[in-house]
């Protein structure tokens, strides 16, 4: 069980690439990496989860806390590249209604489309 997180900054867009499994053991690594981002008004943070092979409720909690932090700092948060399994996880929990999520099929799921 391992998770790898890398970031690339491009102006006001911070792109993160998450790879591996997100569970009780690896979630602290992900949380620490996300906490290292300096969030400011107008920053868009886009996290690519296309290489995440597994995620449990601990991972969802990390993303909810980070989403709240980004919104509080007047930034934007977007998840991209989610597999069908991850999309379903966000749908079941109702988080797909809250967060801006783009699947690997490039279909937008967000509260703005309602």
* pLDDT tens readout for residues 3-28: 999 999 999 999 999 999 999 999 99
> 6 burial class (0-12, 13-18, 19+ CB within 10 angstroms)?
exposed
pLDDT at position 1: 67
Report the range of poorest mean pLDDT among 40-44, 64-68, 108-112.
108-112
Residue 108: band (very low, low, confident or very high) from pLDDT cuts 50, 70, 90 = very low
Percentage with pLDDT > 70 across the chain? 89
pLDDT at position 107: 40
pTM: 0.85
Quote the mean pLDDT of the chain: 89
Domain ranges, residue 8: 3-113
Percentage with pLDDT > 90 across the chain? 83
> What is the number of structural domains in the chain?
1
Domain containing residue 43: CATH number? 3.30.750.24
**DSSP character for 24?**
T
Length of the chain equals 114
């Amino acid at each position: 069980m391992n998770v790898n997180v890398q970031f690339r900054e491009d102006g006001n867009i911070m792109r993160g690439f998450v790879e591996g499994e997100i569970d009780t053991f690896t979630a602290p690594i992900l949380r620490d990496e996300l906490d290292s981002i300096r969030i400011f008004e107008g920053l868009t943070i886009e996290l690519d989860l296309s290489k995440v092979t597994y995620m449990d409720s601990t991972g969802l909690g990390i993303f909810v806390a980070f989403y709240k932090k980004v919104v509080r700092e007047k930034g934007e948060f977007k998840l991209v590249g989610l597999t069908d399994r991850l999309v379903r996880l966000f749908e079941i929990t109702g988080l797909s209604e809250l967060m801006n999520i783009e699947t690997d099929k490039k279909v937008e799921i967000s509260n703005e489309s309602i």
